[in-house]
């Protein structure tokens, strides 16, 4: 069975894009690029960069794993990652990965009833 993973980059204050829809603050370097290339070679299905698409999957319990990459920046405003989520989504932390750039990747799975 395929595994659907949602992954996105956010600021420390929870925004995935700035107030003018900018993403120039994303902290991406060679280490992260190497990690991303390795990750893409082993996955089944990924939703990357579209919180709107992820929000349409969440009510149907279709996302198997959430990977949230926190960038060491505070934006103050912008679009929150889960803007529009209608119900609480309980997650369990599986593991973390800390990058030399200061990014922290959090791996979560949904807590299913």
pLDDT in tens, 62-106: 999 999 999 999 999 999 999 988 889 999 999 999 999 999 999
The residue that leads in pLDDT, 93 or 57, is 93
At 44 the pLDDT is 64
At 10 the pLDDT is 95
**Pure H helices in 1-113:** 30-40, 51-57
The residue that leads in pLDDT, 54 or 15, is 15
Question: What digits encode the pLDDT tens for the residues 20-36?
Answer: 999 899 888 889 888 88
Q: How many domains does one find in the chain?
A: 1
Q: What is the CATH number of the domain that holds 44?
A: 3.40.430.10
Give the C-alpha separation, 52 to 36, whole Å. 22
Name the residue range of residue 101's domain. Answer: 4-110
């Amino acid at each position: 069975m395929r595994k659907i993973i949602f992954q996105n980059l956010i600021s420390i204050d929870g925004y995935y894009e700035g107030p003018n829809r900018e993403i120039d603050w994303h902290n991406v370097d060679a280490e992260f690029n190497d990690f991303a290339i390795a990750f893409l070679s082993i996955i089944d299905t990924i939703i990357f960069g579209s919180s709107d698409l992820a929000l349409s999957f969440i009510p149907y319990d279709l996302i198997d794993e959430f990977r949230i990459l926190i960038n060491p920046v505070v934006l103050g405003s912008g679009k929150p990652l889960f803007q529009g989520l209608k119900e609480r989504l309980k997650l369990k932390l599986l593991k973390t990965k800390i990058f030399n750039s200061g990014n922290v990747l959090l791996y979560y799975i949904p807590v299913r009833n």
